[in-house]
Structure 1
Amino acid sequence: MDFIKFVRIVILCSSLCESSKILVTPVDAGYNSRLKNMIQIGKLLMNAGHEVTLLFSDQLEVDALYKLAETNTMNKTFNVIHYKKPPVDPSKDMDTLNQDWLKGMMKKNGVDALEYISSVFDVIISYPLEDDIVWKRISTANFDLIVSDENVYYSRIVAASFDVPLILYSNWGPMTFGANLVQRFNLALVPAFVEPYSDALSFSERVYNVWQYYKLLRVNENIFSKSIGLCRQHGYGEACDNIKDAEKTVSLIFMNRNDVLHYPLPLMPHVISLEGFFLETPKSLGHQYKDIIERAGKNGIIVVSFGSMFRKLWPELRTIFAKAFAAMPQTVIWSYEGPTPEGIGKNTYVSKWIPQESLLNHPATKVFVTQCGASSSFQALHYAVPVVGVPFFWDQPYYCQKLTERVKAGQTVHLEGITSEKLKRAMEEVIKNKTYKENAAKAAAIYHDQPIPPKDKVVYWAEYVIRHKGAPHLRSQGANALNFFQYFLLDITALVAAIIVAMAIILIIIVKKSISIFSRNFKKNKRD
């Protein structure tokens, strides 16, 4: 009997724990935290026993930042399908290492910035479409699931062509590039894109928010039309329509979002909040950083990082930062690789790559000076570190607003009009005023109080889609099928208005008739 039970358990386990084949497609426009987070999803699924294949260009592994960040060779960790991409000078390409390109985006806000870089979508989709060998490998792989960055339209074509369930990942939380990928059920409280609004918008903010939403729809339409055109040119047929229709066919949306950081909003059940799944277990600091922290003494340290994009800064800005850091009594550890800034102090240590999470986890860290990227913001939240946010563009003002106004765990210093003195005062205030640290600790306690660890949630929901061969039952067909007039109940409003008008007309006719009859009777009685 015991042996029979054992056999049943083995059979059950083998049926439940069967390895699946999963394709993961990150955006490849230079190595950055967005791409790293997609790689992390792949690692989580691989560690759960699945066969994971990554799709990216043959140029990524020669990226200098990739070599610093990914110490293990990718081919030893995953199956990798490379599509061909001609070598380019990243300082002249639409790439995260092109500082001029980045500065151009900084001059634009929200949807205007998306329109400014819209040609990037052509590049992202063109190279894999042009590589027939990649398509042949994918067509014979029999994938059970595709997990893709929301901006990789190629994955949408693959999903539609081979009927593979698709999960899209939104790195910026509810602020998706697609206007309706996550339905904005109420523009009165849900920002249309990356504006740094709360959920209590003023009248002018609501007006601007609605305007931004319809601009986003227009920009989406242009991007989708171009990508669909390129797809059809390469002969992929009806599957190209899924570039635009993915919001109606996607199984799940993995959203980088948490209730303590983001404002509440209505979401459909196929939208899954992953709460910073990419955070890693801090490693022990090496002797170099232990010595720096020990020499810092009771003053502690300030950790500075402006993300993967702003590791090099233009002269006037890096000088402002360097002088502000030099004026602080704390020791500053700055992730930076550009020319040595003028005015850099003896208290400032500069390195191309720093163990950021391990430093934030150290009790000697007094404040985190950050651009408030999505990943950095979750790190600050997770490790209960107060921040001084210096947002550059895109989602960064949005996340700085969340950390400094919703969580109240720091201050924001905007680049417009920034000076060394302003930055210095902000750092001093956040370090001396213990309220910021207390608020950060409260937020971290709420963040950690989760029924399912974020990493386990990634695996569970991916396997859920695989088990059920998709999840259309979680997606609202009605929300996707309703047209503009139905969605906003304008047809019902028109019906009610018509009924009211009809009743008013009838009432007016009755009143007129009554007055006419009364008048005739009155005149008749008067003659009699």
Structure 2
Amino acid sequence: MDLIKFAVLMTLWLEFTDSSSILLAPLDIGYNSRVRNVLRIGRMLLQAGHEVTVIVSDRIENESLFKHAEGFNLDLTFRVLKYKTPTFDLDTAYSTANQEWLNSMVYQPYTTLLQIVGQAYEENLKFALGDKEMWNEIASSKFDLIFADDSVFFPRLVSAYFDIPMIVYSNWGPMSTDTNFVPRYNLAYVPAFFPTYSDEMTFLERFMNVLEYSLIKWTWYNMYNRFISICREHGYGDACDNIRDAYKTISLFMINRNDAIHYPAPYMPHIISVEGFFLKSETEPLETEYSNIIKNAGEQGIIVASLGSMHRRLSYKTREKFATAFAAMPQTVIWSYEGPLPKGLGNNTIVKKWIPQESLLAHSSTKLFVTHCGASALFQALHYATPTVGLPFFWDQPYNCHKLTHKVKSGKTVLPIEMMSEELKNAMQEVISDKRYKDNANKAADIYHSQPIDPKKKLMYWIEYVIRHKGAHHLRSHAENELKLFQYYLLDIIALVMCSLVVFGGIIAIIITYLIKCILFDHKMKKD
């Protein structure tokens, strides 16, 4: 009898609960921080009572970094749809697990980066489109919402084909891989992508910014043509156009940005800042091993060194430079690194494959954060008011390091490819010894923490807002997407004004000429 009552109660609860079915699509080109952050959103949705289905390749769970970071199989937490992929060859794979592939991107211009990573985007799209069993699963699932990384293209097709509202998320903040998602309203003060420009550009910087924007648009034009062609070959018709046009149809675009770190820019209401939602509300206590390390470090404190998920295996020369610079510091260095141990590693340097990074940054003994300036590291440095030495390699990292160095002024930037051990050591010593860096980090942290709503609550509010209203197209400016270039920049109005001035000026000139002739003729008649 009790069992029957329980079943009835559960049926009533399911009937009246606000639970929704959500398809979650992280960027699956290897495990990295942006995958981790999308999965964090998935867990938040689960805690809020929603049903979450994650769509990934059948190989991501086999990566060592996934096992280090997640520690479990996805299907123990989520419902998982896996599209089939060929046998994984680490030497040739377009994956962040392939260090050679990552190294080919270091210090490349953005258009070159797009062409390199575009191979991975195209490959994943083919794999997903080719798995008809997964497509049938999606068709029968009746999702209420799609939440996708901005660089995943298969969900754009699913959204258009099944008419499902979609939210797109950018881990990089105000910069999407495609410039159309966050419109560049004025290239005079808004960077096209990730050049290290501020919102005050010289003439040359503005010229290069417009040139960069034009090259990016052209590169994406060619990439989208390939993606749409592949999609149409699989028979999905006009829905394939949404792979290019999703910026016109998405309900919301969520971006990791905050006024403390990013330059002001105008955004439409459907563009929502989620302010580093992935930061832990409360840091976990340190394990005894790390507590002892900090205790033994004494008053000198510790340096936390982490180059993110994609720079964990450095070249011989680079890792030697790091080891030599760390060995010269009086602080204890905790270095997150999994490659071969370099020569010259000091007794003060502790190397670990995985470290409790946030808990260490939150500790008062941490004097410095040596970081690649990835999106997660950027917000961790901001949140915990930690001075930094930035070592950017590619993508958004130079941009993020530039913001910490030049806007927040809480650190210094050193380019790893040009770096000597002495330069890195001097930068670390300066940031630790000069009180201004810590003071600036504290000021930025105060601004960051002065938010009217907790970032996690803000993110959940807007996701459920879209579900509740079955989309949020009323927040979009459709006119913005439909206006022609000459209309958007008011060139037709300027042309009208110019023509009117010319006509008016011509009429005035004719009148004045006529009057002058009349006066001269009258004067001549009087003389005669």
Q: Provide Cα deviations, 1:432-473, integer angstroms capped at 9, x if missing partner.
A: 111111111121122112111111112111100000000011
Per the alignment, residue 242 of structure 1 pairs with: 242
Per the alignment, residue 26 of structure 2 pairs with: 26
Gap change, CA 1:407 and 1:22, over 3 Å in 2: same
Per the alignment, residue 137 of structure 2 pairs with: 137
Equivalent runs, 1:396-415 vs 2, <5 Å: 396-415=397-416
- Asked if structure 1 preserves the Cα contact closer than 8 Å seen for 2:63 and 2:97, the reply is no
| Matched AA of 1:134 | M
Per the alignment, residue 268 of structure 1 pairs with: 268
Instruction: State the alpha-carbon separation in 1 of the partners of residues 399 and 506 from structure 2.
Output: 51
Per the alignment, residue 326 of structure 1 pairs with: 327
RMSD, matched Cα: 1.7
- Asked if structure 2 preserves the Cα contact closer than 8 Å seen for 1:325 and 1:332, the reply is yes
Query: Unaligned regions of 5+ residues in structure 2, if any?
Result: 1-11
Instruction: State the alpha-carbon separation in 2 of the partners of residues 404 and 46 from structure 1.
Output: 38
Instruction: State the alpha-carbon separation in 2 of the partners of residues 267 and 238 from structure 1.
Output: 29
| Matched AA of 2:349 | T
Residue 114 in structure 1 maps to residue 114 in structure 2: yes
Q: Provide Cα deviations, 1:210-253, integer angstroms capped at 9, x if missing partner.
A: 11111111111111111100000001111101111111111000
Per the alignment, residue 375 of structure 2 pairs with: 374
Greater Cα shift, 460-469 or 437-446: 437-446
Instruction: State the alpha-carbon separation in 2 of the partners of residues 251 and 498 from structure 1.
Output: 41
Per the alignment, residue 5 of structure 2 pairs with: none
Greater Cα shift, 282-291 or 53-62: 282-291
Equivalent runs, 1:348-367 vs 2, <5 Å: 348-367=349-368
Equivalent runs, 1:410-421 vs 2, <5 Å: 410-421=411-422
Instruction: State the alpha-carbon separation in 2 of the partners of residues 314 and 328 from structure 1.
Output: 22
Query: Unaligned regions of 5+ residues in structure 1, if any?
Result: 1-11
Q: Provide Cα deviations, 1:83-127, integer angstroms capped at 9, x if missing partner.
A: 001122233222112222222212412233223332222112111
- Asked if structure 1 preserves the Cα contact closer than 8 Å seen for 2:59 and 2:88, the reply is no
Instruction: State the alpha-carbon separation in 2 of the partners of residues 28 and 467 from structure 1.
Output: 29
Per the alignment, residue 44 of structure 2 pairs with: 44
Instruction: State the alpha-carbon separation in 1 of the partners of residues 148 and 82 from structure 2.
Output: 15
- Asked if structure 2 preserves the Cα contact closer than 8 Å seen for 1:110 and 1:195, the reply is no
Instruction: State the alpha-carbon separation in 2 of the partners of residues 73 and 107 from structure 1.
Output: 35
Per the alignment, residue 200 of structure 2 pairs with: 200
TM-superposed deviation, 1:73: 2.2
Greater Cα shift, 23-32 or 113-122: 113-122
Gap change, CA 1:187 and 1:336, over 3 Å in 2: same
Equivalent runs, 1:215-234 vs 2, <5 Å: 215-234=215-234
Per the alignment, residue 316 of structure 2 pairs with: 315
TM-superposed deviation, 1:510: 1.6
Instruction: State the alpha-carbon separation in 2 of the partners of residues 342 and 507 from structure 1.
Output: 84
Greater Cα shift, 125-134 or 80-89: 80-89
| Matched AA of 1:308 | S
Instruction: State the alpha-carbon separation in 1 of the partners of residues 13 and 186 from structure 2.
Output: 45
Greater Cα shift, 326-335 or 216-225: 216-225
Per the alignment, residue 430 of structure 1 pairs with: 431
Q: Provide Cα deviations, 1:483-510, integer angstroms capped at 9, x if missing partner.
A: 1101111111111111111112112222
Per the alignment, residue 503 of structure 1 pairs with: 504
Instruction: State the alpha-carbon separation in 2 of the partners of residues 493 and 415 from structure 1.
Output: 48
Instruction: State the alpha-carbon separation in 2 of the partners of residues 451 and 287 from structure 1.
Output: 37
TM-superposed deviation, 1:62: 0.3
Q: Provide Cα deviations, 1:7-36, integer angstroms capped at 9, x if missing partner.
A: xxxxx9988841000000011011000111
Per the alignment, residue 304 of structure 1 pairs with: 305
- Asked if structure 1 preserves the Cα contact closer than 8 Å seen for 2:166 and 2:252, the reply is yes
Per the alignment, residue 524 of structure 1 pairs with: 525
Provide the TM-score with structure 1 as the length reference. Answer: 0.96
Per the alignment, residue 165 of structure 2 pairs with: 165
| Matched AA of 1:183 | P
- Asked if structure 2 preserves the Cα contact closer than 8 Å seen for 1:44 and 1:458, the reply is no
Instruction: State the alpha-carbon separation in 2 of the partners of residues 393 and 217 from structure 1.
Output: 20
TM-superposed deviation, 1:416: 4.3
**Tell me, what secondary structure is at the counterpart of 1:303?**
strand
- Asked if structure 1 preserves the Cα contact closer than 8 Å seen for 2:146 and 2:155, the reply is yes
Instruction: State the alpha-carbon separation in 2 of the partners of residues 274 and 60 from structure 1.
Output: 26
**Tell me, what secondary structure is at the counterpart of 1:22?**
strand
Instruction: State the alpha-carbon separation in 2 of the partners of residues 243 and 492 from structure 1.
Output: 33
Instruction: State the alpha-carbon separation in 2 of the partners of residues 92 and 454 from structure 1.
Output: 39
- Asked if structure 2 preserves the Cα contact closer than 8 Å seen for 1:335 and 1:351, the reply is yes
Residue 342 in structure 1 maps to residue 343 in structure 2: yes
| Matched AA of 1:482 | L
**Tell me, what secondary structure is at the counterpart of 1:105?**
coil
Per the alignment, residue 128 of structure 2 pairs with: 128
Per the alignment, residue 385 of structure 1 pairs with: 386
| Matched AA of 1:466 | I
**Tell me, what secondary structure is at the counterpart of 1:328?**
coil
Gap change, CA 1:423 and 1:23, over 3 Å in 2: same
Q: Provide Cα deviations, 1:286-323, integer angstroms capped at 9, x if missing partner.
A: 12211211111111110001111100001111111110
Instruction: State the alpha-carbon separation in 2 of the partners of residues 91 and 302 from structure 1.
Output: 34
Instruction: State the alpha-carbon separation in 2 of the partners of residues 139 and 70 from structure 1.
Output: 29
- Asked if structure 2 preserves the Cα contact closer than 8 Å seen for 1:27 and 1:124, the reply is no
Instruction: State the alpha-carbon separation in 2 of the partners of residues 439 and 199 from structure 1.
Output: 20
| Matched AA of 1:481 | E
Instruction: State the alpha-carbon separation in 1 of the partners of residues 93 and 23 from structure 2.
Output: 27
Residue 212 in structure 1 maps to residue 212 in structure 2: yes
Instruction: State the alpha-carbon separation in 2 of the partners of residues 303 and 149 from structure 1.
Output: 29
**Tell me, what secondary structure is at the counterpart of 1:169?**
strand
Gap change, CA 1:103 and 1:70, over 3 Å in 2: same
**Tell me, what secondary structure is at the counterpart of 2:227?**
helix
Greater Cα shift, 433-442 or 150-159: 433-442
- Asked if structure 2 preserves the Cα contact closer than 8 Å seen for 1:260 and 1:443, the reply is yes
Provide the TM-score with structure 2 as the length reference. Answer: 0.96
